[in-house]
Homo-oligomer: A and B are copies of this chain.
Amino acid sequence: MKCFARHGYHAASVSHIIEEADIARGTFYLYFKSKHDIFKEILDAFISHISAQINLVDMKSETSPLLQMRANIDRTLNAITEKPELAKILFNEAVGLDDETQSRLKEFYGRLISIIRSAIERGVEFGIIREVDSAIAACVALGAIKEVVTQTAILGNLKIAKSNLIDGMMDIFFGGA
């Protein structure tokens, strides 16, 4: 993780990895079929973990839709903050990777957008959210989350306590509702 996050897929060499892990060259290939294999394994696990944090908003639940959305963001932010290196990979390694990985990434983001979009549409339907173009709004929301994570957890440019961050984002998105 550390190596891939620091140097990206291409520049992270097996030599870096085994030096960081303090194991021999052969040992690496005892546990991973190839350099690509370890990257896929790391990325897959992280995508699954992140995906598991996000639940579809249930309008029949006792918890209010807004609180459900907040909980989704909260859990996702937690998961990402725990492994900022992986988030860096997830947000930046879309270029120059093999087609399989690229489509895995595309699928992941597609799923994310469609979840967010359906949440927005339900919100509009139930009058919680003002009428907006849900396609654009979902895109905006995803980009917002990615950028906030990048600036706080990855780059460290923006230093804000997590709870304030979530409240701030909820406020911006849902107009202080």
Chain A residues packing against B (C-beta within 8 Å)? 5, 7-12, 88-89, 92-97, 106, 110, 113, 130, 132-133, 135-137, 139-148, 150-151, 155, 157-158, 160, 164-165, 168-169, 171-172, 175-176
Contact = CB atoms under 8 A, between A and B. Distances in A.
B148 A140 contact: yes
Instruction: Name the residue in A8, A136, A148 with the highest tally of chain B Cβ atoms < 10 Å from its Cβ.
Output: A136
Given A8-B96, A132-B168, 13 more contacts: A7-B96, A9-B10, A10-B96, A92-B93, A113-B157, A133-B172, A136-B160, A136-B165, A136-B168, A136-B169, A137-B168, A137-B172, A140-B147
Contacts of A5: 95
Q: Which secondary structure characterizes the binding site on chain A?
A: helix
19 contacts: A10-B96, A12-B96, A89-B95, A92-B95, A93-B95, A106-B155, A110-B157, A132-B172, A133-B164, A133-B168, A136-B169, A139-B148, A140-B169, A141-B144, A142-B147, A143-B143, A143-B147, A143-B150, A144-B147
